[in-house]
């Protein structure tokens, strides 16, 4: 899929204007605070993903000059099918697809959009929660029920923790947690299998071999996920009761990254870790394309910032080879050759260079 055009009204600092984008690589350049990330966020909202800061309230999205207004973002897309998407934001937000109110999960499946922010560059050495968040975003695109099941799992997990802390019997919650947890484990495993294939498409962007594997949190090593979950919960029962925490389940998973038998976080230099992170992001794009048979749109905020010339060239080569539509943002001017369209953002206004 790709955006043909977009427009916005009363959204953050962006000036109301319709822009017709290139179907290939779009680079947004401009000073700090000019509105580049806001543009990426507008697409993020259109793709059914909500604001960039998951927790930020919708009112922060409304232009400060129109605090009582309604922000409106609109995009027309083409590719595997033509789509018109509209996001209306007030105290609540609603999404419309071709004029009809639609669920975010429906839009995510038809308009697959992958966003990577500067923080994602620490995917390799960051905490497991960062890698779980990456897997969750990928799974939410690959499996339409994933976001809902994860929400239900987390709700049941909170109940279990509450019961454990009150020293009450938590056995009933196992009946809810085990099938949900096993389903999430199975989905994550499929996603990692697809990601592995996706990484093969990134050519020599990876600085060295990379082994990618899902580590199930608290697993006792049984292959069948639900049996593994139940067995592990059984073995941890006394510890759970004593400490009031749940030691088994997807909330404790990690995506293990290794190269030549060593942890990737130790094996690779900082710059190479950045390249691995970018390769994982692009590998995720391939995973999405392979499963959904739709080309994803990529939102890349400052992701090439810490790459050397070689890393950058290889990233651009993969992007060009993919023929995905890309919106990349970078502060200031560009000191390198960008193989696509360049847009200058100045005080919320978009101008073609
Ligand atoms: N609701 C809002 N209404 C008006 N302006 C806003 C609103 N929310 C944020 N802004 C402004 O938007 C400006 C642009 O933000 P944005 O994060 O898009 O900049 P950027 O171009 O990505 O900058 P950087 O290069 O520093 O990342 C910010 O300086 C902020 O003051
Ligand atoms: Mg920014």
Nearest CA to 336 out of 318, 312, 317 is that of 312
Query: What residues contact residue 298 under an 8 Å CB cut-off, 6+ apart?
Result: 113, 114, 115, 116, 281, 282, 285, 319, 324, 325, 326, 327, 328
Residues across the chain: 353
Asked if residue 35 has its Cβ within 6 Å of ligand 1, the reply is yes
Is 218 within 8 Å of 249 (Cβ atoms)?
yes
Atom of ligand 1 nearest to the CA of 31: 25
Give the integer Cα–Cα distance in Å for 146 and 255: 17
Asked if residue 67 has its Cβ within 6 Å of ligand 1, the reply is no
Q: Ligand 1 atom 24: the closest Cα is on which residue?
A: 32
Instruction: Collapse the DSSP code of 305 into the 3-class scheme (helix H, G, I; strand E, B; otherwise coil) and give the result.
Output: coil
Asked if residue 348 has its Cβ within 6 Å of ligand 1, the reply is no
Give the integer Cα–Cα distance in Å for 130 and 89: 28
Would the pTM of this model clear 0.85, i.e. be above it?
Answer: yes
* CA dist list (Å): 58 to 86, 102, 137, 224, 254: 16, 18, 21, 41, 31
Atom of ligand 1 nearest to the CA of 40: 18
**pLDDT (0 to 100) of residue 55:** 63
Whole-number Å distance, alpha carbon 282 to ligand 2 midpoint, is 20
Counting ligands in written order, which one lies closest to the CA of residue 56? 1
Nearest CA to 198 out of 298, 304, 76 is that of 298
Q: Ligand 1 atom 9: the closest Cα is on which residue?
A: 12
For 100-133, write each residue's pLDDT tens digit.
999 999 999 999 999 999 999 899 999 999 999 9
For 182-240, write each residue's pLDDT tens digit.
999 999 999 999 999 999 999 899 999 999 999 999 999 999 999 999 999 999 999 99
For 265-319, write each residue's pLDDT tens digit.
999 999 999 999 999 999 999 999 999 999 999 999 998 888 999 999 999 999 9
Q: For the chain, which domains are there?
A: 1-112+294-353 (3.40.50.300), 121-291 (1.20.1050.90)
Of residues 57 and 111, more confidence is placed in 111
Counting ligands in written order, which one lies closest to the CA of residue 33? 1
Q: Which pair of tokens denotes residue 264?
A: 């990737």
């Amino acid at each position: 899929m790709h955006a043909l055009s977009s427009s916005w009204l009363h959204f953050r600092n962006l000036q109301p204007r319709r822009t017709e984008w290139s179907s290939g690589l779009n680079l947004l350049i401009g000073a700090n605070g000019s509105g580049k990330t806001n543009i990426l966020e507008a697409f993020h909202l259109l793709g059914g993903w909500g604001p960039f800061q998951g927790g930020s309230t919708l009112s922060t999205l409304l232009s400060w000059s129109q605090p009582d207004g309604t922000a409106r973002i609109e995009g027309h897309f083409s590719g595997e099918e033509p789509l018109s998407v509209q996001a209306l934001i007030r105290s609540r937000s609603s999404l419309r697809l071709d004029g009809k109110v639609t669920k975010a999960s429906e839009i995510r499946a038809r308009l697959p959009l992958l966003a990577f922010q500067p923080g994602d560059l620490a995917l390799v050495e960051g905490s497991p929660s960062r890698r779980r968040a990456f897997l969750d975003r990928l799974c939410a695109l690959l499996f339409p029920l994933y976001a809902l099941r994860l929400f239900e799992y987390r709700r049941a997990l909170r109940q279990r923790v509450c019961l454990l802390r009150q020293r009450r019997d938590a056995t009933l919650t196992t009946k809810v947690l085990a099938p949900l947890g096993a389903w999430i484990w199975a989905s994550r495993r499929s996603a990692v299998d697809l990601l592995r294939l996706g990484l093969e498409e990134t050519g020599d962007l990876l600085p060295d071999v990379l082994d990618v594997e899902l580590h199930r949190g608290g697993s006792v090593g049984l292959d069948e996920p639900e049996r593994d979950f139940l067995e592990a919960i059984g073995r941890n029962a006394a510890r759970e009761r004593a400490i009031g925490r749940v030691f088994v389940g997807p909330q404790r998973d990690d995506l293990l990254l290794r190269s030549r038998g060593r942890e990737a976080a130790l094996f690779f230099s900082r710059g190479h870790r950045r390249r691995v992170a970018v390769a994982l992001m692009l590998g995720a794009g391939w995973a999405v394309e392979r499963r959904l048979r739709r080309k994803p749109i990529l939102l890349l905020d400052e992701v090439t910032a810490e790459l050397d010339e070689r890393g950058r060239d290889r990233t651009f080569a993969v992007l060009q080879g993919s023929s995905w539509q890309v919106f990349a943002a970078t502060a200031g001017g560009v000191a390198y050759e960008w193989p696509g369209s360049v847009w200058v953002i100045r005080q919320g206004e978009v101008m073609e260079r």
